[in-house]
Structure 1
Amino acid sequence: MTNEFYFNLILFFLVAIIALELAAKKLRLPPAVAQLMGGAVIAFMPGLPAFEIDPALVLVVFLPPLLMHGAYFTVWHEFRRHLTGILLLAIGAVLFTTLVVGVALHTLSPALPWAACFALGAIVSPPDAIAAKAVLQRVALPRKLMVLLEGESLLNDATGLVLYKFSIAVILTGAFSLQSALGDFVFLSLGGILLGAAFGYLVFKTLRYLHDTSLMILASALPGWICYVVGEHLGVSGVIATVTYGMMLGWYQHEIMTATARRRGSAFWDIMIFMFESLVFILIGLSLRGVWERIAHADKSLADYSIEVLLVLAVVIASRFAWVFAVDAIAQASKSKTHIRRQPTSWRESFVKSWAGMRGVVTLAAALAVPAQVPGRDLMLLCAFAVILVTVLFQGTTIGWIIRVMKLKPTAHEHAYLNEAQTWARLEAAQYAVVNRLAHDERGNVIHPRLLEQYGYRANLSDTMKDAGSLPANSRQAHFNVVLAAVAAGRQELLRLHRSGQIHDDLLRIMERDLDFQEIAALHNRA
């Protein structure tokens, strides 16, 4: 196949993304489910070759930006507050699942080496950040539960990949040291944190000197990939390095990025992340044909593998339930003994936390990367794909229904925050103070009466309503409806002047940009 064919194929995939997104909305399915099923259908289309996906390339292309995007929007205070719970899921649950899967599989198939059983456990143990984000962004959960699941999805890939590498190394070398493995894990984790922090500091110092918006966006986005590549090259966790950098950028971007860079950067990231998430699930579906052909030429038939596959599926799902419920029960008991006053974790929350264990691209890439000489490689591929299919197609499509049945709803933040009205009162009081100072000359004469009137009105209104639950919706909407009508009239006149040849294209673009900013601000404030 020529390079032109593959380029045309990529264009076809992008068109398929649009069609599958529309189909998902029509059928009320999570887009990830529609894209995975669409990829599987495309894989068996006549005339298309079997797709051999390079697992290393998939990880380096897709994983860093998706991890960075999730880390960028992480609320640091909440992440730090629930760090213990996040680590119990990201490290504890992955270790426990790996152990249980390995023991169960070796019990069923004693001929399979222990290291191979644990390698399979490491492959299927970490819930996927991409799959979790694709599903969780369309459901409403209590804030603490959402923080735990999103935080877990950012860190558990590192745990799973480290366990996987250790297991494969044991198979190939025959040597294992628990002390050495623990030391390597600490080195990988701390090294990743330090590397990500170093890149974050470098970008923090650099961006303030970049006055070009495009350069600022590019200079903030590229380190997400660079952190991952450099981390893997240095032997530390590229996943943790990327997450650390993303969290630092998300924290400091308010200080170092211009408003224009943030707006344009948000549009850039929204489109890129949408494409990458969609392509990942299509690629997972496409890989079904290759897995199917490998199994067709394997020593055992698909029916012979069925018991082992079903066992792995059952253990993967059941082990997460066992871990989550046990940890939550222990945490609740310890709070009772220490008389810590916190809202208890209900069994409903534990159930949803257990159910939200979708697997995805990391599981697939790890299975595809297993060396050919490793015993049980065909079983690993089949189990990996079965776990992805069941968790995404079954758990991913039912989690919204389960949340509704469990009657879990978003709750208020644990700490007292200013509400919207109080925040606007603070902001507009500060704005009015500056305007009031600058609106007068040295003699005290008003030189900017319209600005003084405008900001004074807004400050008085916000101060009056600061203790209300929300701003006066009717008057606020009516005000900005007038603003939007004025913007629409200005846009119509601007286009009339341009179409009649009275203004140049350059002036059209400049004036249109200002009207766009006015419209964006008015729409935001009206809502």
Structure 2
Amino acid sequence: MHPMQLFELLVVMLLAIILLHYAAHKMGLPPAVALLTGGALFAFLPGLPVISLDPELVLVIFLPPLLMDGAWFIALRHLHRHMLGIIALAVGAVVFTTVIVAVVTHWLVPSLPWAACAALGAIVSPPDAISARAVLQHVRLPRRLAILLEGESLFNDASGLVLFRFAIAAGVTGAFSMVEAMESFALLAIGGALVGAAVGIAWVRLTPRLDDKYLMIASSLLAPWASYLLAETVHVSGVIATVTTGLICGWYQHVVFSATVRMNGTAFWAVMIFLMEAFVFLLIGSSLRGVIDRVGGFELVLAQMAGPVLAILVALTLARFAWVFGSDGVTRLLRACGLRRYAPIGARSAIVLGWAGMRGVVTLAVALSVPEGFPGRDFILVAAFGVIIGTVLIQGTTLGAVIRWMQLEEPESDKARMSMSEAEAAMAQAQVRVVEAHAYDADGTLLHPRLLDRYQRHATLSANYAGQEAEHADTLHAHFNLVLKAVAAGRAELLRLHRAGEIDEATFQELERDLDIEELGALSAKA
């Protein structure tokens, strides 16, 4: 494809993303579903070239920043608290699902070697981090369930990739060693964590010295790719390395970044991640034509592969439910035996956890990386694509309804010790103590009466509001609605002055930024 044609195709895809997101919003669908469907239709438009994905390039471009973004904002304390459950999902569930899918595939297609069946199982077993993020950001879950899903999606790709590599090696050489596989996984994980920690520490130490907000934001963009590529270069897990870097950077960004850098950086990352996630699903849908053409057309797929692929989709879904409910049953048994450190999640949460198993770009990229000539490669490609479409279209569209149907509640043990209003009152008390200490000069003369009055009033109001949110809700909403109206009036007058030539561009931008900050504060307080 000519470079100009490639650029034009990217522009068309960007337009498609905007239109499909808008359509999904209007129809109440998850954007991932609209983008995947739109991409599939997009692929078969006459005159458009067949989109062929380079699996290694796709993973390198999209996976590191998306993993970094997920790790950056995850609650590290809760991640540590629920790490056993996350490992059970990210490793145990992946291995269990791989075995189940391999057995079912060999039963359905006896001519397929066991290594090929295991490779397919490893490809489709890990739920995708990108798919999970795309769906979960539009639903509300109890903290523990959200941490389990987020943590699983961050770490399970490493398990699936190790299993896949050993399955491919077994298919090529005919040899497989479980002990060697476990040793390799441990080395890859530990090595990846060490590389990720080194990159993360380097970022924390060096970024403040840049002393420029744009350079500091650029360094946050460089970190995930540096971690991933360095880890892959030394043959350890790039996934684990990137997640480790993201956890370290996310923990320390509050002291590394100033408020200005953080606001600008958050806005930059939000737009970039939005576009990356959208492009991923559009590319997945757009690659359908290439996959279908490669295996011989729709007729062959429907006649020979549709049934087994549907059975594999059902098998991996049931396998996930079996693992989730089985793990919860083991937890209940341990509590009955006196080990009460870990609490079961309950049947309702288990149903949601079992249903939240969408697959995405990692599944497709790994399937496309199966070597030419590997036994059953065409079937593996079709099965992987069928699993992606099935999980995103079925589970992705119904997960919100399942969550609402289950009526999940936050357990008392997982609730924060302080509410937001109580934390705000504590902050206000700390602020007023500092202002009171510096509001007077050495002679006792009050230097900042209005500032002192402002902070004292804020501390008093915050203390009165804490624990009484419901009683003050209507008054506060009316208050901040009025603030927003005042901001809108100020913005209109500022724009009039600028358009009339009464103020210059620099004055306009400075005052507009002040209004923007005031508006954001009012919207945040109202929410």
TM-score (norm 2): 0.95
Greater displacement, 395-404 / 186-195: 395-404
The aligned runs of 1:33-112 (5 Å cut-off) are: 33-112=33-112
The aligned runs of 1:81-230 (5 Å cut-off) are: 81-230=81-230
The aligned runs of 1:225-374 (5 Å cut-off) are: 225-296=225-296, 302-338=302-338, 340=340, 344-374=344-374
Judged with a 3 Å threshold, the aligned counterparts in structure 2 of structure 1 residues 489 and 391 are, in CA distance, closer, same or farther, namely closer
Deviations 1:39-77 (A, max 9, x none): 000000000111111111111111111111111111011
Separation in 1 of the partners of 2:396 and 2:524? 32
Amino acid at match of 1:434: V
Equivalent in the alignment of 1:404: 404
CA-CA distance at 1:144 after TM superposition: 1.2
Q: Is the 8 A contact 1:421 1:471 kept in 2?
A: no
Q: Is the 8 A contact 1:140 1:409 kept in 2?
A: no
Separation in 1 of the partners of 2:463 and 2:313? 58
Amino acid at match of 1:400: G
Amino acid at match of 1:354: G
Judged with a 3 Å threshold, the aligned counterparts in structure 2 of structure 1 residues 415 and 512 are, in CA distance, closer, same or farther, namely closer
Deviations 1:439-483 (A, max 9, x none): 111101011111011111111222233343468334444544554
Judged with a 3 Å threshold, the aligned counterparts in structure 2 of structure 1 residues 386 and 489 are, in CA distance, closer, same or farther, namely closer
Q: Is the 8 A contact 1:298 1:378 kept in 2?
A: no
Separation in 1 of the partners of 2:385 and 2:325? 27
Q: Is the 8 A contact 2:292 2:298 kept in 1?
A: no
Q: Can you give the 5+ residue segments of structure 1 that lack an aligned partner in the other structure?
A: none
CA-CA distance at 1:174 after TM superposition: 2.9
CA-CA distance at 1:315 after TM superposition: 1.6
Separation in 1 of the partners of 2:471 and 2:75? 25
RMSD: 2.1
Q: Is the 8 A contact 2:367 2:381 kept in 1?
A: yes
Q: Is the 8 A contact 1:30 1:397 kept in 2?
A: yes
Amino acid at match of 2:155: L
Separation in 2 of the partners of 1:217 and 1:174? 48
The aligned runs of 1:496-515 (5 Å cut-off) are: 496-515=496-515
Separation in 2 of the partners of 1:43 and 1:15? 15
CA-CA distance at 1:498 after TM superposition: 2.8
Task: Note if 1:428 corresponds to 2:425.
Answer: no
CA-CA distance at 1:429 after TM superposition: 1.0
CA-CA distance at 1:311 after TM superposition: 3.0
Separation in 2 of the partners of 1:270 and 1:363? 24
Separation in 2 of the partners of 1:475 and 1:439? 31
Deviations 1:184-208 (A, max 9, x none): 1101101111111111111111122
Task: Note if 1:390 corresponds to 2:390.
Answer: yes
Amino acid at match of 1:421: S
Equivalent in the alignment of 2:520: 520
CA-CA distance at 1:344 after TM superposition: 3.9
Separation in 1 of the partners of 2:471 and 2:523? 15
Amino acid at match of 2:159: T
Identity score, percent? 51
Equivalent in the alignment of 1:446: 446
TM-score (norm 1): 0.95
Task: Note if 1:4 corresponds to 2:4.
Answer: yes
Separation in 2 of the partners of 1:241 and 1:366? 19
Judged with a 3 Å threshold, the aligned counterparts in structure 2 of structure 1 residues 300 and 31 are, in CA distance, closer, same or farther, namely closer
Separation in 2 of the partners of 1:413 and 1:249? 28
Specify the SS of the correspondent of 2:326. helix
Separation in 2 of the partners of 1:354 and 1:478? 42
Separation in 2 of the partners of 1:485 and 1:30? 32
Amino acid at match of 2:81: R
Greater displacement, 469-478 / 351-360: 469-478
Amino acid at match of 1:235: H
